[in-house]
Amino acid sequence: MLDLIGWSSLPAGLLPKWLWIVGVTSFLNTFQAFATLSATRRIYANKQHEVTGLSGRTFGVWTLLSSVVRLFGAYNLHIAPMYQITICTFGIAWIHFMSEFFVFRTAKITGPFLAPCVVATSSLIWMVSQYGYYVKQY
């Protein structure tokens, strides 16, 4: 089954597989963001009234864009600009979630908020630490 959706053609290593899993999960979350606001409201639990249809759809589009970049990144980590833009998706996500918690106070520490924070933080650290392994300097 996984061979049908490109799993077997991923480059060697765990990072490409992780990016693929995160990319597919994000892609599926896109539909959730368009269909209902309940999941998005759980992330921004301190100010649920600020989550509107427009902000939910915008979140969905942002999630879709991140998903596409991460999926392309999973297959092309050897290309420096692709690796860098993939890192940026996690950096932007991290900045967004940290600012929502510390600056705007829209989020509180719950599972729905912690999950994307953990993914963004761990992926960012992992990608920065593995840059030289995947991107070969010529």
**Domain extents for the chain?**
14-130
pTM: 0.93
Task: Quickly state the pLDDT bin for 94 (edges 50, 70, 90).
Answer: very high
Compute φ and ψ for 102, nearest 5 degrees: -85, -35
Task: Quickly state the pLDDT bin for 1 (edges 50, 70, 90).
Answer: low
Q: 78 and 134 in contact (C-beta within 8 Å)?
A: yes
- Residues 128/85/50/58 CA torsion (nearest 10 deg): -150
Read off the tokens for 78: 């050897």
Compute φ and ψ for 52, nearest 5 degrees: -115, 175
Percentage of the chain exceeding pLDDT 70: 95
User: CA angle, 83 as apex, 26 and 123 as ends, to 5°?
Assistant: 50
Q: Note the pLDDT tens digit of each residue in 8-52.
A: 899 999 999 999 999 999 999 999 999 999 999 999 999 999 999
121 vs 110: CA distance, rounded Å: 16
Q: What is the per-residue pLDDT for 138?
A: 56
